Chains A and B, each alone.
Chain A
Amino acid sequence: MAEKLDKVDVVVVGSGWAGGIAAAELSKAGYKVVCLERGKERSTKDFVGSKDELRYTKRHELAQDLTKQTMTFRNNVGEDAIPMRKHNGYPIYDEGTGGTSVHWSGWSYRWLPFDFEIRSKIIEKYGEERIPKDMIVQDWGVTYDDMEPYYDKWEKTAGISGEVNPLGPPRSDEYPNPPMKESPAIRLFADATKKLGYHPFRMPAATVSQQYVNPDGETINACVFCAFCSMYGCDFAAKADPIVTVLKTAQKTGNFEIRNNAHVKRILHDGKKATGVLYVDPLTLEEFEQPADLVVSAAFFSGNNRLMMLSGIGEQYNPETGKGVIGKNFTSHYTGIGGNAATAYFEDKKFNTFAGAGALGCVIDDFNGDHIDNTDTDFLHGFNISIFQDGAAAIANNRVPQGTPYWGKEFKEKSVHYAHRYLNIGGMQGTMPYTHNYLDLDPTYKDVYGDPLLRITAKFTDQERNMAKMIAEKCAEIAEEMGADIIDTPPVADDVEMTSSSVNTHAAGGVIMGVDPETSAVNTYSQVWGMENVFVVGGSSFPHFGNSNPTETIGAFAYRAAEGMIKYLKGDGGLLVESKTSKETV
């Protein structure tokens, strides 16, 4: 029997960027907020002296404890899914204070005006017949202009260091900090792309270029390029994460409590409104009921979906009938297709690639969804191309040109020779939703508490494969202009298939936003259509995946959601936006 605790105004599930922003804004507004974080307590103290590649990058110290819970994966309906038993190259997700927002690299992009009105824009540009029947792409219900103030707010909270993208959408302000220092690899990429007629700009970075105090009064230190960044918490509190920003802000209000080791199993409700959440302490196995006026689910795309499904909120999506919304529109920046699209080897140049920072990079946006003309492409949407120098540590830094054996004498010789003689140029795809890519509960595999695991059903189509081929082609062109002696591009076969290791932290959908309850689970304030005091915040709300990293857009929508929550709590309840029927939507 669960112990019933005293009621609070707001309970937030998850302490990453989405939950952290909600917690900060609501506690600043005077509401009593309890944040339930399933993992252990973490502070910047945990990251001092953590420069250990084996522990953090290879064994994924910050990642979720899979002994308790994971996800399962299959390509097609009718197949048995297999559990993702370990974290692969990328962790599936993290736990502990700050969540998955601690290990991130800090690449901070705004998504495109095109993204938010994607269906309308495609129809406008290329006609409705261009959209395949099973590509269930839809408008988000907001425009870029609606989102601009929230993007600006997020960038100021995180101290983003960057320069204005010459091809980017309009901005109300510049970045709060100048770009990071420029390394020779970045100069080389910038010069080459300029020569090719593209428009390079420095990667907008949450690895902050100078000591900075954000509008909430939190200090983020200057990055020192120590290179232990992606997959690590920052040794110097120089990477914006929820621990050094929003969670600290929430703590200062006196209205906030974070409870670690609190694994939420259910959102409790009476069918119309939520009454609180049920959680278990994974250490003692004690169960607690936390009543609240408002429930914020910010438990990563996976946790959000599973919580909705296990709690019976909203109708499960069915790929056969197309009915139901929960679990719909799963998308991801799938690993293994269009990732590191070209490796450039240089015989006469050595780079200090052991130095770097998660978001030390340079980008071109010439092929993104707003700028590429899809008339002549065999895919829709687009991609960005970037070079980044995030620190090549010794275990991973053993790349050899294609055709070299993967072990033995020749491998040893070449892996040592090329250790500092190569650079990676990568692309990131916009990912479209399909009827057949979705999430539901697995019928076989359970978590440690006996609840079913989340199951991913997803496969590649020619859309992803064709775009990956073009990314590789463009990256190779840039590598050549950079003067590389050997250029490797990953082979993208026509029949390359998605596997469980294609799924990484850039995954989204399942509790998507929109204007119509028939085709979306939440409105643009992340408020659940059928349960007005539940807000489901994070990448789960994305109807498709833009062609750059998701964190900034998650942050921007979290600010918008928090504004909605305050409006909801201050007002007389009800939905923050009127729903539209399916007939009225595009």
Chain B
Amino acid sequence: MADKKDMKPGKSSAKQAPDASRRQFMKNSGLVVGGVAGGSLLGGLLTNQFKSDKSAPVKTEDQKVELTEARMFFERYEDFVVLEQATERILPKDDNGPGAIELGVPYFIDKQMAGSWGINGTDYRQGPFLKNDPPVDQTSLNRGQVIITGIRKMNEESKNRFDVTFDKAEEEQQIEILQDFESSKVKLRGVNAGSMFQLLRELTMEGAYSDPLYGGNRNMAGWKMQEFPGAVPSYADIIEKEEFVKRDPMSLTSYQQKS
């Protein structure tokens, strides 16, 4: 446990930093420092200060805060926003209902990559692995590494092609890049791009439609959109019915036995 004294300086300096000088600092550090050190300093400023910044949006009591929605796998915010936009292009918001972002898909993927699925915890992992543009299932990279590799390449492609990061690119530009991933026109180091894209697509669908216990399908909105009732004990009463039966979905939180 860190001594209270050690924690003080960081905290107090963050609180005291006035708005104008913070902006100035960000500008300077971006210009002068850059790289890892600058990023780390910036990160500290951004995450610690915005909450106390009166000009920033403040979450009020009546606004529901998803306390589980913080990153446990993606270290860089700049990677996460690429993930957000890529999944939203795969499953976009429309008149039928929410898209990937609103459904919590990016946080679902973050949690999956931080867990055993991301490190291929149940897979056979002995070598040799395939070397020549291998699919996701045959590469030496684990799924977390595959996703990060792909996400960063999406960003790089966007910057090269359109002079803008992927998350800031136009929808059509994002789609173009994703299509080039899908058809393996883009080359990734260590894994086939089309296969990486299929993994991302699959994760997006899983995040939209799995039980909300995994952090996706937020508020069961994916199930409501698809008219899927979730975990229902019995359909013996409706199995013979001709007409379609619509009902509010039930999640495992309600279904499973609890103390």
Contact = CB atoms under 8 A, between A and B. Distances in A.
B94 to A, nearest CB: 6
B5 interface: no
B121 interface: yes
Contact of A86 (B137, B217, B238): B137
A49 B92 CA distance: 32
Interface stretch (B11-19, B23-31, B220-228): B220-228
A355 B124 contact: no
Interface stretch (B77-85, B160-168, B185-193, B205-213): B205-213
B240 interface: yes
A450 to B, nearest CB: 10
Interface size class of A (residues with CB under 8 A): 35 or more
B124 A70 contact: yes
Interface size class of B (residues with CB under 8 A): 35 or more
A388 to B, nearest CB: 13
A58 interface: yes
Given A65-B122, A355-B235, A397-B226, A184 B94 contact: no
Interface string B71-94: 000000000000000000111101
Interface string B123-137: 111101010000001
Interface string B220-259: 0011011111111111101111101100000010011100
Contacts of A228: 231
A86 B123 contact: yes
A59 interface: yes
A49 B231 CA distance: 8
Contact of A355 (B125, B178, B205, B239): B239
B214 to A, nearest CB: 6
Nearest to A88: B137
A85 B125 contact: yes
A407 B252 contact: no
Nearest to A421: B244
Nearest to B143: A86
Given A85-B123, A224-B235, A407-B91, A352 B209 contact: no
Interface in A323-347: none
A393 interface: yes
B47 interface: no
Interface in A198-255: 224-228, 235
A388 B74 CA distance: 42
Contacts of A52: 210-211, 213, 231, 252
A409 interface: yes
A53 B210 contact: yes
Interface string A387-417: 0000001110110000000111101110011
A84 B240 contact: no
A419 interface: yes
A356 B255 contact: no
A427 B244 CA distance: 27
Given A85-B125, A350-B244, A445-B126, A356 B239 contact: yes
A360 B240 CA distance: 12
B193 to A, nearest CB: 15
Contacts of A86: 120, 122-124, 137
A256 B220 CA distance: 46
Contacts of B152: none
A417 B225 CA distance: 10
B135 to A, nearest CB: 10
B211 A53 contact: yes
Contacts of B55: none
Contacts of B225: 416
Contacts of A412: 91-92, 94, 96, 99
A398 B209 CA distance: 10
Contacts of B255: 49, 51
Contact of A394 (B92, B117, B137, B223): B223
Contact of B128 (A48, A181, A224, A444): A444
B187 to A, nearest CB: 21
Contacts of B137: 85-86
B114 interface: no
B219 interface: no
A104 to B, nearest CB: 20
Contacts of A417: 96
Interface in A400-452: 406-409, 411-413, 416-417, 419-420, 444-446
A374 interface: no
Nearest to B95: A413
B91 A226 contact: no
Contact of B123 (A66, A82, A360, A395): A66
Contact of B126 (A83, A356, A409, A416): A83
A2 interface: no
Contacts of B230: 51, 394
Nearest to A407: B90
Nearest to A72: B124
B201 interface: yes
B235 A419 contact: no
Given A67-B123, A408-B90, A227 B244 contact: no
B234 A409 contact: no
A394 B231 contact: no
A224 B210 CA distance: 22
Interface of A: 48-49, 51-54, 58-60, 65-67, 69-70, 82-86, 181-184, 224-228, 235, 350-352, 354-356, 360, 393-395, 397-398, 406-409, 411-413, 416-417, 419-420, 444-446
29 contacts: A49-B231, A51-B211, A51-B230, A52-B210, A52-B211, A52-B252, A65-B122, A67-B121, A67-B122, A67-B125, A70-B124, A82-B138, A85-B123, A85-B138, A226-B233, A354-B228, A355-B239, A356-B239, A394-B209, A394-B228, A395-B206, A397-B226, A397-B228, A398-B205, A407-B178, A407-B204, A408-B89, A408-B90, A445-B126
Nearest 10 pairs between A and B by C-beta? A355-B235, A394-B209, A224-B234, A51-B231, A350-B244, A54-B210, A49-B256, A394-B228, A225-B235, A70-B124
Given A227-B235, A394-B217, 13 more contacts: A52-B252, A65-B122, A83-B126, A85-B124, A183-B239, A184-B240, A352-B235, A354-B228, A354-B229, A394-B228, A408-B92, A416-B225, A419-B227
